[in-house]
Amino acid sequence: MAHQYSSQPRLSPSSDTEDMTMLLAPRLAHFAGVARTEHVTRAAQEMQVPQSTLSRAMVRLEQDLGVDLFARHGRTVSLTPAGRTFLTSVERALAEIARAADEVRADADPATGKVAFGFLHTMGAETVPGLLHAFRADHPRVRFSLVQNYGEAMLERLRAGELDLCLTSPVPDAPDLVARRLDEQKLRLVVPSDHRLAARKRIRLAEASDEIFVTLEPGYGLRRITDDLCQEAGFKPRIAFEGEEAETLRGLVAAGLGVALLPPPAVP
């Protein structure tokens, strides 16, 4: 299991919508406040900003836009036609900002958030469902976005922030990632039913050095493991077919097109 370490601060879940729009779009929030109250002093008190700061902000906003948004009447103000048009769009924009802030805070909430979880295709039938079932028993409100891919692709997506964690093999040795060994999955040499080794319960991998192999494409963790195990056994496998799915390789073996190192099937 691997995930990327991050020290970036997260938005506080206690921040209310008004605080968030003020933080992310202060000038628009100030304008909406003055437009709502039609009184600069009252708006400044409600938004807890100095009146002089609010007045200057409205003047700068009008200067930047090149139009008058307010008609001044002593201590009160009223919206001009341009101001009313602008307010309609500003209110929509502030509502969208508030919605987006609520959404990302909900996703980041450990109790109800959304987890982007990547895993190998070979782990999708039993391993991952079992892990998720156990996790959801204690965290029923957490949502998951599930992504299946090969090892190197998942690690790149992890680094890019597209995944929160991934289940891969072999355990990555990378200084920018935190990895923990969760379990071990046995591999078997899968051969056709009429193969010379089919009746054997145990073999040394070196005994398959003359065989034709079918395996996953480069970049897949199982391909790397296959290459490493064969090298440790003293040979380089002769590969006839490369694929993307372990079950496809199992079918190729059954058709007599080679042998393969594969985990046990989900359904024996």
pLDDT on residue 231: 97
Indicate the length of the chain as a whole number.
268
Task: Give residue 20's pLDDT.
Answer: 64
**One pLDDT digit (tens) per residue for the chain, 268 residues:** 665 544 343 434 444 556 667 776 888 888 888 998 998 899 989 888 999 999 999 999 999 999 999 999 887 899 999 999 999 999 999 999 888 888 888 777 777 788 999 998 888 877 899 899 999 998 898 999 999 988 889 999 999 999 999 998 888 888 999 999 888 878 999 999 999 999 998 999 999 999 999 999 998 889 999 999 999 999 999 999 999 888 899 999 999 999 999 988 765 5
Q: How far apart are CA 223 and CA 216, in angstroms?
A: 5
List CB contacts of 191: < 8 A, sequence separation 6 or more: 197, 198, 211, 253, 259
Return all residues near 150 (Cβ < 8 A) that are at least 6 apart. 120, 121, 216, 217, 219, 220, 221, 244
Q: In sequence order, what are the residues at sequence separation of 6 or more whose Cβ sits closer than 8 angstroms to the Cβ of residue 103? A: none
Supply the pLDDT for residue 110: 74
Q: Tens digits of per-residue pLDDT, 65-97?
A: 999 999 998 878 999 999 999 999 999 999 998
- What integer pLDDT is reported at residue 19 of this predicted model? 66
Give all domains of the chain, ordered by start, each with its CATH number: 17-108 (1.10.10.10), 111-179 (3.40.190.10), 188-262 (3.40.190.10)
